[in-house]
Amino acid sequence: MAEYRNVQRSKRLIRTAFANLIKEKKDISKITVKEIVERAHISKSTFYCHYQDIYAVGEEFDQEIVHLIEAAFNENITSEHTDFIRFIEALIKSFDANKEIYSMLLCADVSGSYIDKLKTICVERLNKDMRLEAISDDDTTRLTEITIITNGIVYTIVDYLKGKIKATLPELIDKINRIVIKLSKKA
């Protein structure tokens, strides 16, 4: 059990150091293992016990973000059942639970990889599974409308994580949900 806690602790230190360096340097190629181990106060051998290189740390974050989005979708949106409001709430709460790390990654994401991944998954799943009455039936128009909605929601989450939106988490969820409810009804 103590060994498992040490593994968790080491990985948390590495991930935090990585996220801080991404925020500062804005580019993974400018980060070195030496910088990570110095920030994390661990040895290089400890780093290499957990990760092959710095890109493996970034890939772990990528996979985690994809998993968060997919889990929120799978729990709340299927072709038979759509609960977009609960999906948004689950997604925002997932990011908020690790706000410090995700805000560093998403806010410093100059290349757009994390944000693009979030948007791409949301657009694909919404286009496939979402039933919004106000969204067009024409495939091209539908995809454009879903992309606009998704971009608005994703950048609202990013702005919340950056501290640009002065709302509590429940207030933010409520505001997004009000917009979604309007879109779910035909005029």
* Over residues 73-81, mean pLDDT: 68
Locate the domains of the chain by residue range: 1-51, 55-183
* Maximum average pLDDT range among 11-25, 33-47, 126-140: 33-47
Residue 112: pLDDT band (50, 70, 90) is low
140 contact partners, CB below 8 Å, separation of at least 6: none
Whether residue 60 contacts residue 14, with contact meaning beta carbons closer than 8 Å, is answered with: no
pTM for the full predicted model: 0.65
The total of other beta-carbon atoms located within 10 Å of residue 154's CB is 18
Residue 48: pLDDT band (50, 70, 90) is very high
Q: Which residue has the higher pLDDT, 150 or 100?
A: 150
Assigned CATH for 1-51: 1.10.10.60
Q: Name the average pLDDT for the chain.
A: 78
24 contact partners, CB below 8 Å, separation of at least 6: 108
* CA–CA dist 123, 97 (Å, integer): 23
Whether residue 127 contacts residue 142, with contact meaning beta carbons closer than 8 Å, is answered with: yes
* CA–CA dist 12, 183 (Å, integer): 40
